[in-house]
Structure 1
Amino acid sequence: MGIELIIAGVAGIMAVAILIFGVVSLRSERQTEVEERLGRYTSEYSSLLAQFEEANDERLANEPGAITQRLDSALADREFAKKWRTQLARADLKLTVGEYFALHIIAGIATFFVGWLLIFGNPIGGAVAGFAGLFFPRFYVARKQGQRLRSFEGQLPDTLSLWVNALRSGYSVLQAMEAIGRESPDPTSTEFKRVVQEVQLGIPMEAALDHLLVRLPSEDMDLVNTAVNIQREVGGNLAEILESISHTIRDRIKLKGEIRVLTSQGRVTGWIISGLPILLTVFLYFVSPDYTGRLVENRLCGWPMIGVGLGLIGSGAAVIQKIVNIEY
């Protein structure tokens, strides 16, 4: 009887200990999750950009998610990883650095086999295609960044008009931003909602606007940020300031459009001159593989000629784009 009581007592103590450990672990895990979510807004901007690396629970539950997590941990402190986070944030792509890195590898391998098996028929051509394929994700991200920035800048005059009307209606600066987040189209609504969230979590208005400027590096928005910060320090009628800036930005957008139209011929000419030799070489390779194939097969002479030709084509394209890129 005594032994049974001892065993029952030990079992009861173990059950209580396990229950206490489970409750403490659950609370600790919940606290860690809350701190992690708050950390995305209250820590430095590098942590803010980490919100674009958050994967959903279903994806993290399987093996590829675990591999992605390990890859993210391995790349977290690398300098290029920090640049990639900023680029993904500017493009508003919900990808982690590990996933973005994996996309480079996948694109390179896919284009290698496509170039080898379907286009060139030899591994050398496939290697060239695979090397070019490594840059496809970067081209896509850069294109998304440009589209998002142009869309934001195009919406900025209307955004400032809405901001001015809200201020004249008696709204505070933060309430006006909330109205912009509700009424404006994307990406303006998304970015101003983030600014409001950051301010509500205790981040100063100046820092929140600086974060917006990092995500969308617009010269026009930089002018708006400067005006808001100066008004908060020295006072003044912010509505009149923003209205004046709105007229200035509208004139700048009009000037940008005129310059883009005037330089369109030069830009198109640059792309045609740059792409014509490459397309002509590929065409001749299919039409007369015995003639053009010698350029690829001869490693001592053909490969250096290909490298020099690509280098000169790239240099010429860069010079042409530099000429037609007029600063204003």
Structure 2
Amino acid sequence: MTLLLLYAAVFVAALVSVEALLRSYFRKYERQRAVNHRLSLLDASEDHLKTYRTMLKERGADDAWRSMPLAQRARQFYVQSGVKFDAQRFAFYGIAGAVLAWLVVQFLVPSTLVRIPVFLLLCLLVPAIVVWCIRANRIRKFTLKLPEALDVANRSLSAGHPLPAAISLVAREMPDPVGTEFGLLSDELTYGTTLDDALVNLSHRVGAEDLNLLAIALSVQAGTGGNLVEILQNLSKTLRDRTMLKAKVKSISSEGRITAIFMSVYPFLLYAMIKTLAPTYFDPVWASGHGTTIVAVIVAVMTVGNIILYKMVNFEY
């Protein structure tokens, strides 16, 4: 009996020790995650101007991109994704993705005439889709945290601080992407950019529609006056109500969106499954000489159908 109690005590002590270690580790990890990218760069270098220019350059948001009319929209799309440019990493992922895409196309498409255009199309579409998903996720995170950022600014303004100090407080207290973007906004105001231009730059860098409301509210208040705290409180409430409305619309239309995604992916999954189980099943189609025409017509019809499907299940609000 005594030995059993000893074993139980050792087990409880080990369990408590492991829990304490895990709790301290995850608490430290959460603290590290809470520090935004701008603050981590400032920890390494106290030169604010150098940090500001470095962040714009690694995001591709420096002044040079505005002078490129042909690539302006694509460059802005990339800037809004928040992806940091790294030539070596991009080259590695590009080569690995191209090899993988070629293997997939070579397995699924037996015709050489169709194989090369499909491979080139995949090499163009896959990076664009990846950047689009990262951009959408970043904008969603920013939109969810924006009302909280306005509350932080409100508390600073209520304490008697000016607007630049309130923006700087948001940059220090909020995690990414809000903290970094408001930090860049604070840096622009520090280095002489007007509030209107800084807000326009912020909207271009982030791409969130809610920032247009913030820019209009601050511009009107700066021109006509008024209680800025009350304006930001009402704006924060409006943004929260809008977020709740978006969530309700998404929940109501979730079944339709899942159906649309499944119907879009199902033909390709079915073709891959048949090709795997019976590799020679589609050979008569390619041998007939009409395979390319058939595939082109099917892809065109599917494209039109997918456009109609996504128009039916995606709502503007």
Fold match by TM threshold 0.5: yes
Deviation at 1:294, TM superposition (A): 2.9
> Cα distance 1:311–1:200, how it changes in 2: closer, same or farther (>3 A)?
same
Deviation at 1:174, TM superposition (A): 0.4
Look up the equivalent residue of 1:218 and give its one-letter code.
A
Q: Partner of 1:110 in structure 2?
A: 99
Look up the equivalent residue of 1:189 and give its one-letter code.
G
d(CA) in 2 for partners of 1:101, 1:296: 36
**1:46-195 correspondence to structure 2 within 5 Å:** 50-53=57-60, 79-95=69-85, 106=95, 109-115=98-104, 123=112, 126-127=115-116, 128-195=118-185
* Partners of 1:88 and 1:95 within 8 A in 2: no
- After superposition, give the CA deviation of every residue in 1:208-267 in whole Å (9 maximum; x if it has no partner): 110010112222211111110111111111000000111111111101000000111111
In structure 2, which of residues 311, 314, 317 is the aligned counterpart of residue 322 of structure 1?
Answer: 311
> Is 2:192 the partner of 1:202?
yes
Q: TM-score, normalised by structure 1?
A: 0.72
> Is 2:296 the partner of 1:289?
no
Q: Partner of 1:245 in structure 2?
A: 235
d(CA) in 2 for partners of 1:310, 1:284: 18
Q: TM-score, normalised by structure 2?
A: 0.74
Which one has more relative contact order, counting CA pairs under 8 Å at least 6 apart? 2
In structure 2, which of residues 238, 244, 262 is the aligned counterpart of residue 254 of structure 1?
Answer: 244
* Partners of 1:195 and 1:209 within 8 A in 2: yes
SS of residue matched to 1:109: helix
Gaps of 5+ in 1: 1-36, 42-47, 55-72
Deviation at 1:200, TM superposition (A): 1.1
- Identity of aligned pairs, percent? 28
d(CA) in 2 for partners of 1:190, 1:263: 33
Q: Partner of 1:312 in structure 2?
A: 301
SS of residue matched to 2:71: helix
Look up the equivalent residue of 1:263 and give its one-letter code.
S
Which is worse superposed, 134-143 or 101-110?
101-110
d(CA) in 1 for partners of 2:265, 2:255: 15
> Cα distance 1:134–1:121, how it changes in 2: closer, same or farther (>3 A)?
same
* Partners of 1:103 and 1:137 within 8 A in 2: no
SS of residue matched to 1:261: helix
* Partners of 1:76 and 1:82 within 8 A in 2: yes
SS of residue matched to 1:134: helix
Deviation at 1:49, TM superposition (A): 5.7
d(CA) in 1 for partners of 2:260, 2:243: 24
- After superposition, give the CA deviation of every residue in 1:246-304 in whole Å (9 maximum; x if it has no partner): 11111111010000001111111111111111111121122222221333444x31111
* Partners of 2:58 and 2:85 within 8 A in 1: no
d(CA) in 1 for partners of 2:56, 2:223: 28
d(CA) in 2 for partners of 1:116, 1:220: 41
Q: How many residues end up aligned between the 2 structures? A: 265
Look up the equivalent residue of 1:196 and give its one-letter code.
S
CA RMSD of aligned residues (A): 3.1
d(CA) in 1 for partners of 2:127, 2:170: 32
Gaps of 5+ in 2: 1-48
- After superposition, give the CA deviation of every residue in 1:174-208 in whole Å (9 maximum; x if it has no partner): 00000000001110000000011111111111101
SS of residue matched to 1:290: coil
Q: Partner of 2:210 in structure 1?
A: 220
Deviation at 1:111, TM superposition (A): 3.6
> Cα distance 1:95–1:267, how it changes in 2: closer, same or farther (>3 A)?
same
* Partners of 1:213 and 1:221 within 8 A in 2: yes
Which of structures 1 and 2 has the bigger CA Rg? 1
* Partners of 2:59 and 2:79 within 8 A in 1: yes
d(CA) in 2 for partners of 1:218, 1:77: 23
